[in-house]
Structure 1
C-alpha cells in the first residue's frame, strides 16, 4: 500500500477540486459504513464543500439518531445529478453498492476507502487497509494526517463505527490500534454509556423474532456448525424487518464447540437467501462467501444465494463442512 499520508492528501485534493460529490455505502448498511460515511461528509464540509449520501436501503433505523437530518438517498432510478467525484465507503467491491452503483457511472474520479483485504482496488485512489478493524479507523487517521479538526459529533461517529465492526471490542480484529483510536476519540467527549444504551434498547417485536429464530437452531458436523433461519413469515408474524435480525449470528457463534455460525434470511422478494457467516476458528469464511459472489473478512463474511432456505441451508452447510477440521 502506498504511504497512507500520500493517499489521504490525494483524496483531499480531489475533494477540493470536485464540484459535485457523492458518498456510497454498501448494501445492508451497518454501523461502520454508515457512521464512517457521515464522518467523511463532515470532513468534506470542513473544506467548504458538501456531498450527497447514497445507500440502497437508506439509513438503518437504529442509526437515525446519529445521522440527524442527514439523508441516505435510496434512489435506484437514474435521476440524480452527475457527480465528478464518488467516494465508496466500506465497499469490498463496486458491486457492493447494489442498486445505487450507477451513481458513479459518469464520475470523473472514484475514491475507494475500505478495510476488506479482498478489495479489488477499483478506485482511482484506493485507501484500503485490510489490517484496520473498521473503516472508521482509517477515517480517523485521515482526519489526523490532514489536520482536519475533530469534534464531539465526528468522534462519536468514528467511535460507533469502530465499536460496531469490532463487536463492541470483542472480535478477533480488535487490536492495539483499535483501542488506541477509541481512546483518542474519548478525549472529544464521546458519551459511551449513552451510546451503548441507545443500541441496547430493543422492541417487543424484535424479542419475539429472536425467540422464533433461535427456536430454528440446528447443529451440524458434531456441533461445529450452528445454523439459524429467519423466514419472511417470521418477519410478518412479529412486525419486524431484516434489520431486526442483525446480530443473531454472533450469538450462536458463542455456543460451546461451534466453529462456524450461519444465519439464513429470506429477502423481501423471496427470491434470494441472505447468508451471514461467522467463524470462531481458523476457517476463513470470506473464502466461502466469495464462492457465491460475496465477501468480507476472515471471521465475518456474507453472500446471497438464489433459492429457498431449506435448499440453501443444505448447500451452504455442505460447503462449510469442507472447511471444518
Structure 2
C-alpha cells in the first residue's frame, strides 16, 4: 500500500486501513521505533502497546529506553531487543520509516518477511508498507496513534493517554514549535480529557542528573558561533564523557538549548565517536535542518533533523560546512 498525500480523506482512509490491519491480525504484534528513541518514539510505542494489551492482544515492544524517559515505563512493558520474530507476527514501526532498517531498532527488520504496518510523521518517509499512515502535517506520531486507537474503538485510560501526551509534548517543544496547529491543541485536549498527566510529565522531564551539568560545562568550551551568529555548533566526544562520568544520553537536549541563542537559525550538536559522527540539528526562522541533514545522508523534519556519517570529524566538518552554506544560500535567495 502506498500513500501520496495527506488530505483529510486520504488521512482518514489510511488511519482506517491501519486500524483494520491491526484488528484483523490474530498473531503477536511487535512494536518497533527508531534508534536512540525520543519522547515521541517511546510515547507512541507505549501508548499503542497499552491500548492493544487492554483488549487482550499479545504485544512485544523491544526498546532500549533512555534513562531520562524510564520514569514512564512499567517493569514488564518494554523488552530487550529481539534476535528473531515470534511466529505469525506483524511488525508495527512507529516514528520512523520502515524502509530504513538501519534506523529501526529493537529487532532485525531486514530479516522479517511478514506484514509491516508503519505509523510515522516524517516527510522523508518512502511510504511503502502493508498498511500505513504517514502525515508530516502532524507534529508528532503520537497524534496519529491517538487517531488509530479511536478508530479501533479501544477504551481510553490515563495509562494510554499519558505516554501519547509525552510524544506530543516533546515533539512540539512543549507546544512552542511552529509545527503546532489547532489540531495539535485539539488532540492535547482529548488526551487531557482522558486523564493524561501533563504537569507530571513536565516535572519529570525537567530533572537532569548531575553529570548533565558537568558535561555541559565542557561542551560549552567547544561552542562556536558561525555566520554572524546564525549557526551555533558544539561538539562532544568520548573523552569528555570519561572526564565527567556522563553518558551519551546526557547530550540529547543540548542542541535545543543552543537553538535558543539570540539570532541563531541553526543549532548543530556534533557527537564525535572517532570513526563516525552523529549530528543533531535544530532550526528556526525558515532555515531547514532537514535540508542540511539530507545533504549528509540523514533526514527528519524541517526544524529537527539528524544524520550519521561514517567518517572522522575533520572529514565530516568539511561536508557539514558545505551543507550549511548551501542551505544559508537557499534561504537568503528565497523571496521574502
Q: TM-score, normalised by structure 2?
A: 0.89
2:95 is the alignment partner of 1:71? no
Paired residue for 2:291? Answer: 287
SS at match of 2:103: helix
Deviation at 1:104, TM superposition (A): 5.8
SS at match of 1:288: helix
2:281 is the alignment partner of 1:277? yes
SS at match of 1:73: coil
**Correspondence list, 1:163-312, <5 A:** 163-267=169-273, 270-312=274-316
Paired residue for 1:8? Answer: 15
Paired residue for 1:106? Answer: 112
Q: Is the 8 A contact 2:19 2:149 kept in 1?
A: no
CA–CA distance in structure 2, aligned partners of residues 180 and 122 of structure 1? 29
Q: Is the 8 A contact 1:212 1:234 kept in 2?
A: yes
- Structure with bigger RCO (C-alpha 8 Å, 6+ apart): 2
2:45 is the alignment partner of 1:37? yes
Deviation at 1:278, TM superposition (A): 1.1
Deviation at 1:72, TM superposition (A): 3.9
SS at match of 2:327: coil
**Correspondence list, 1:16-95, <5 A:** 16-55=24-63, 58-69=64-75, 70-75=77-82, 78-92=83-97, 93-95=99-101
CA–CA distance in structure 1, aligned partners of residues 25 and 233 of structure 2? 49
CA–CA distance in structure 1, aligned partners of residues 297 and 32 of structure 2? 20
Any gaps of 5 or more consecutive residues in structure 1?
Answer: none
Q: Is the 8 A contact 1:296 1:302 kept in 2?
A: yes
- How many residues in Structure 1 have an aligned counterpart in Structure 2? 319
CA–CA distance in structure 2, aligned partners of residues 24 and 226 of structure 1? 33
Farther off after superposition, 39-48 or 177-186: 39-48
Farther off after superposition, 149-158 or 65-74: 65-74
Q: Is the 8 A contact 1:54 1:73 kept in 2?
A: yes
Q: 1:83 to 1:230 in 2, by over 3 A?
A: farther
CA–CA distance in structure 1, aligned partners of residues 88 and 178 of structure 2? 38
Q: Is the 8 A contact 1:41 1:50 kept in 2?
A: no
Q: 1:35 to 1:96 in 2, by over 3 A?
A: farther
CA–CA distance in structure 2, aligned partners of residues 82 and 290 of structure 1? 37
Q: TM-score, normalised by structure 1?
A: 0.91
CA–CA distance in structure 2, aligned partners of residues 230 and 96 of structure 1? 23
Q: Please, which of 299, 313, 317 is the counterpart of residue 313 of structure 1?
A: 317
Farther off after superposition, 31-40 or 4-13: 4-13
CA–CA distance in structure 1, aligned partners of residues 151 and 121 of structure 2? 18
